[in-house]
Structure 1
Amino acid sequence: MKCSIHGSTYDFYKNYQQNDVLRDRLNLLAGNTFGGLSFEKWYREGYWTGKCMPYTLFDGNDCAANILASVFPVVLNNEKKTYLQLGTVMTAPKYRNRGLVRFLMNEILKDQKDNCDAVYLYANDQVVDFYPKFGFTEEREYQYSRPVFPKKGSIRKLQVDDPGDRNIMEKRIPCGNPYTLIEMPDSTEFVMFHCLTFQKDNLYFLPEYDAVVVAKQENDTLHCYGIFCEDGSHLEDIFSVAAEENCSRVCLGFTPKDSCLFEAEQSEEEDTHLFVFQGKENIFKDNKIMFPVLCRT
């Protein structure tokens, strides 16, 4: 539809990901804004579903501004909720400071806020003063870590483009992560986005535990972003097998269901700030938790 913003006319589209022309323009802006980011492989391989809705303004052939609105089912303490995450907020340079993101934000909140229990987003350092204008407040996430003692075991690196390895992933990832406190069931498409992009070199299979592990070791620390399997009884063994010989600590990209053996520290992720919409549910006020990294958009 046509819309007028501060005297200029734009084409406003939402949930249009099946439109090849518009999606190509979105990918171009995403690549220019976020260092080569593209949603094309994710879409072509059938993972981009209606749970992730682009809200975008176009000016002729230009993709001017965009926000993705992603719907997540969430289970916490056996309570089922629906959360809305806003992500990939971007504006082409020549369209900045024209109120385009404000327009998109208002449209999303008008459409979605009454259908969900919470709304949240991640912002970079440059826009921390922007989101409070829409009723968002900054919250702190807490990351959990513990010592790890490496041991030999069967582990194999997965190649996401190998049909056999992809089959393993597509069987295990829908099982979910049995070790996380904040469950996000039916989120395979979002996990696969990370597996196809940012985490494609960090995928492993541990056949003894029938588990797919998304992890990366940096120096003596194993960063474990997710574990996908049916059996939730071998966490310490999975860490030990996934860790390299010089590893002494594991740091989680999710909140553990059983945190008694872990240490919690305030997350200090560079250039990343969590904002939660006021007036809706806010699970961060009284809990030292974090959303699973593999469910960020």
Structure 2
Amino acid sequence: MSWLQVIVLSVVQGLTEFLPVSSSGHLAIVSRVLFADDAGASFTAVSQLGTELAVLVYFAKDIWRILLAWFNGLLVKAHRDNIDYRMGWYVIIGSIPICVLGLLFKDAIRSGVRNLWIVAVAMIVFSGVIAAAEYAGKRTRQIEQLTWRDGLIVGFAQCLALVPGVSRSGATISAGLFLNLDRELAARFGFLLGIPAVLASGLFSLPDAFAPVTEGMSASGLQLLVSVVITFLVGFAAITWLLRFVSSHSMYWFVGYRLVLGVVVLALLGTGVVAAT
């Protein structure tokens, strides 16, 4: 990879990771449109370590409180009614589906589903899901009303993000809205739920980012380090903005953007301007 590719793709990753527009889809699109090649799923996974570090820093107090409550609840039965103790279990339960499916379908994730036809169609089709969730969600349930069932449902929804073009935050926020969670709560819960999966994926993919086996460009250790730093800085700004935005704005803004981008990519593919793979 060239340094220009590293910088551009890292900025794209940082900007889009937390928005319901699919960071992996954007990286696949930008890679082929600007550089006529695919950065690859491994580079994508490693660059996400920076954005997840942004989540860890942004939610540091919440994460520390949840960890303390979870361990305390394991030792003292009387403390198990604490919402933070339960939240710890919800994150664990919700992380299981994507960890299992991610391992089972890792080869397809790294190759077949990164076809731009799939990305563009996923962009358009899942826009309808986000719009339906925004329309149907009553947004009446608060954090005290979360259950293990919510964690499992949102966890399975997170698995949809294994397909570039769907969006991890889009899937988890939509699931939360369908469950009538408050929009900001749905976003926060989705971010917390993504921490174990993304960290595991990034560390697991680290060796392949240096020397891809099946697809993608290789990157040096210094390039990967710079990528993580860029995605952290840009991602921290993006998550701060998004949580403020969703507290007072609907998801329809992102639906419109996804539809336009999906149609543009289909047009580029149909006219042969951009290659699908």
- The structure richer in helix per residue is 2
Flag whether TM exceeds 0.5 (same fold).
no
Max radius of gyration: which structure?
Answer: 1
TM-score normalised by L of structure 2: 0.24
Greater RCO, CA 8 A, separation 6+: 2
- The structure richer in strand per residue is 1
TM-score normalised by L of structure 1: 0.23
